[in-house]
Structures are given as C-alpha cells and as structure tokens.
Amino acid sequence: RSPDLTVVDYYLWGRVKDIVYHDRPTTRNDMITRMTEAIQSLSSDEI
C-alpha cells in the first residue's frame, strides 16, 4: 500500500505471478528459475 506503487507495478507483478504460478513451483530453486524466466519473457511493450 505504498503511495509509490503505480498501476504499472500492479500489472507487472500480476503478469509475472501468472507466468510463475501457471504450474506451481516445487522447490525454491524452481521458483527462482521461473521468476527469472518470467521476467525475461516480458516484451518491451509490457514493461
């Protein structure tokens, strides 16, 4: 609930979360890998 958060922040986190949790991660390393891949998969238009 930070006043610094914007609609874009909410969109990006929601998009990354959708990608990461498409199939539930099973380990910590799996979660880290999925988050890295999710962020790298975002197009410049999304960012």
Cα 26 from chain centre: 17
pLDDT tens by residue, 34-45: 999 999 998 888
Stated pTM of the model? 0.68
Give, rounded to a whole angstrom, the gap between the first and last alpha carbons of the chain.
Answer: 21
Residues 18 and 32: their CA atoms lie apart, in Å, by 14
| Mutual angle of helices 7-20 and 28-41, in 10-degree steps | 130
Positions in the chain whose pLDDT score sits under 50: none
* Nearest CA-CA partner of 18 in 2, 1, 42: 42
Phi, psi angle pair for 29, to nearest 5°: -65, -35
pLDDT at 46: 79
Domain residue extents for the chain: 7-45
